[in-house]
Structure 1
Amino acid sequence: MVSKLDLYKVFCKVGKSSSFSKAANDLYMTQPAVSQAIKQLEKELDIRLFNRTPKGVTLTYEGSLLFEYANSAINLLHVGEEKLLEFKDLTTGELKIGVGDTISKYFLLPYLEAFHNQYPNIKFKIMNGTTMELCTVLKSGEVDIAFCNFPIDDPTLELKPCIDVQDIFVCGEQYMKTITEPLSFASIVDLPLILLERQSVSRKYVDDYLMTKGVKISPEFELGSHDLLLEFAKINLGIACVTKEFSKEYLNKGILYEVPLMEDIPKRSIGVCFLKSVPLSPASTKFVEIVESKQI
């Protein structure tokens, strides 16, 4: 069965060429098939669209009126198809990423740079937030992908770990002078602690692990950013629980010192997540591939 769209495509081609035979050649159809398509459209619209003459065909007044609209519509469809191809080829489009400030600064920036260098016409839209906030905007469709602290317990999300990170305790020079041997978890919680806010995933991970050891944390300070943890520890306000991989500048320069522990907190992951029920856009797919392959 010939669709209405196919009939209009034939109609526009005949209208442009003023010939059934030329239209047939352009459409790789037989002339009788073209003639039959025009007759079917005229029957469905209950109006004559072409004047038939020995020299060819011409549009009727009604046919000319319809041609303006139909030809515009067909052209718009072609433009739409071309735009889709551009999106697939990553020559245009937008990539919406959810990420926290710390992960963005210490992990994601090199990948953003690498992707932008390869696909400069793709625009970025970056939304900041906590892991829980990012999961919410991800499920609402406000971002395509999100980079978060794991673990995340949400069956609607696909989770892909990207990097393992280690939670450690750090302190300034003043506190380091008083530490002469590795500390147990029970000992370290007796010191003034500086931690992230309780609702953060990374804080919850440390809390939950220490609880399995029978140790409950009661921090002196609860802060909203990783950088503040480092700065508070730097001026000797207490012992800060930080991500080792994101604290290397302070540690390497001797601004802060890693507190020796009798046992390490198990490593956790930072990764990308997206909805299981929604296919990734071409731009999102390529970005995740770059991150997974570490092409930086």
Structure 2
Amino acid sequence: MVTKLDLYKVFCKVGKSKSFSKASKELYMTQPAVSQAIMQLEGELDIRLFNRTPRGVSLTNEGSLLFEYVNSAINLINAGEEKILEFKDLTVGELKIGVGDTISKYFLIPYLEFFHNRYPNIKFKIINGTTLELCDLIKSGEINIAICNFPIDDHSLELRPCRDVKDIFVCGDKYKDLSTEKISLEEMVKYPLIFLEPNSNSRKYVEKFMTSKGIKISPEFELGSFDLLLEFAKINLGIACVVKEFSRDYLEKGLLYEVNILEEIPSRSIGVCYLKGVPLSLASAKFVEILSSANFSLNDSI
């Protein structure tokens, strides 16, 4: 039994290909069957949908108007069918993630590995950028989720903290004494400072804290790479502001030393954010669940 939906699918295919013969090949139907379907639809609607010429067919004005609606409807149906397929153990789909280089290297990679091992058919698209750039990409629909440095002041985004991190100051052998005796922030800023560039969310957070204490910073070096912060400090170019959790390898190997400051910088979070009020795809929702689960352990699964 031919349904109205079947007729509309044939109509869309002919409208796109502008040929009964091409449409019949794409639909795996005979050309007379395609022609009959169009005639049936025209009869039911009591209107001519195509202009027929020896060189092919073209939509009439009425046909063009109908095509816009029917094509959109069929695309929505196809999208809905794809969403249903995702429910079958996430066998298809794409996960578009925005993340900075540092968070990607020191935080995200194990989660990507775990997710890929469990759902190998889900494709990843990773876009790098600053926190502000990634927030814009979420709102433009170019990425599903972003993993960023918090805090973020944007009421259009849903924010879910995933891991607390601590900003500290580190130094090399030349300033090693600063790791044993307590030093005030006022005294510390007299030394050469190494910070991330000003548009970094991490830099803004630390700078805001220090400003609240009446301390203005004037770094000797402003870098675009977290790894360079560690390397510059290691060769004694100054005191670097870094994330403790991402610097453990240098600290444990004795390549760097944590400066013993009197007033510690309050902890902040790394988290995932996405557009508020817009449902996530199943793949995105599952990944967010893994990232933000307090009981989740990568070591249990990888």
Question: What TM-score comes out, normalization by structure 1 length?
Answer: 0.74
TM-fit CA distance, 1:179: 5.8
State whether residues 147 and 273 of structure 2, in contact with CA within 8 Å, keep that contact through their aligned partners in structure 1.
Answer: yes
**Structure 2 counterpart of 1:253:** 253
Q: 1:156 to 1:76 in 2, by over 3 A?
A: closer
Alignment of 1:147-162 (within 5 A): 147-162=147-162
Count of aligned pairs:
239
- 2:118 equivalent in structure 1: 118
Distance 1:245 1:233 in 2: 16
Question: In 2 relative to 1, CA 46–180 (structure 1 residues): closer, same or farther, beyond 3 Å?
Answer: closer
Match of 2:19 in 1: none
| Aligned equivalent of 2:234 | 234
The 3-state SS of whatever aligns with 1:135 is helix
Q: Where in structure 1 are there 5+ consecutive unaligned residues?
A: 13-39, 48-72
Task: Give the RMSD, CA atoms, in angstroms.
Answer: 2.7
CA-to-partner distance for each residue in 1:69-106, whole Å, 9 max, x for gaps? xxxx9x99997665332223310111000000100111
5 Å-filtered alignment, 1:270-285, equals: 270-285=270-285
CA distance in 2, matches of 1:274, 1:42: 45
Deviates further, 81-90 or 110-119: 81-90
Equivalent residue, structure 1, for 2:85: 86
Residues 188-230 of structure 1 deviation map (CA, whole Å, 9 limit, x = unaligned):
1001000001111110111110111111111110000111100
Q: Give the letter aligned to residue 228 of structure 1.
A: L
Separation of aligned partners in 1, 2:179 and 2:86:
57
CA gap of 1:223–1:8, structure 2 versus 1, over 3 A, is closer
Task: Within 5 Å, give how 1:98-113 maps onto structure 2.
Answer: 98-113=98-113
CA distance in 2, matches of 1:8, 1:253: 67
Identity of aligned residues (%): 65
Alpha carbons 1:114, 1:295 under 8 Å: kept: no
Q: Which residue of 2 aligns with 1:66?
A: none
Task: Tell me which amino acid in the other structure corresponds to 2:44.
Answer: E
State the alpha-carbon separation in 2 of the partners of residues 208 and 93 from structure 1: 41
Superposed counterparts of 1:44-193, under 5 Å: 44-45=44-45, 82-89=81-88, 90-177=90-177, 181-193=181-193
User: Aligned letter for 1:247?
Assistant: S
Name the CA shift for 1:78/1:226 in 2 (closer, same or farther; >3 Å). Answer: closer
Q: Is the 8 A contact 2:179 2:258 kept in 1?
A: no
Secondary structure of the residue aligned to 1:127 is strand
Cα distance, 1:177 vs. partner? 3.7
Q: Distance in 2 between matches of 1:190 and 1:77?
A: 62
1:8 to partner: Cα distance: 5.2
CA distance in 2, matches of 1:180, 1:107: 29
2:87 alignment partner, SS class = helix
The answer to whether the 8 Å contact 2:178/2:259 transfers is no
CA distance in 2, matches of 1:213, 1:80: 54
Q: 1:85 to 1:217 in 2, by over 3 A?
A: same
Distance 1:159 1:237, change over 3 A: same
Q: CA deviation at 1:263?
A: 1.9
C-alpha separation between the residues in 1 aligned to 2:229 and 2:79? 50
Residue 210 of structure 1 corresponds to which residue in structure 2? 210
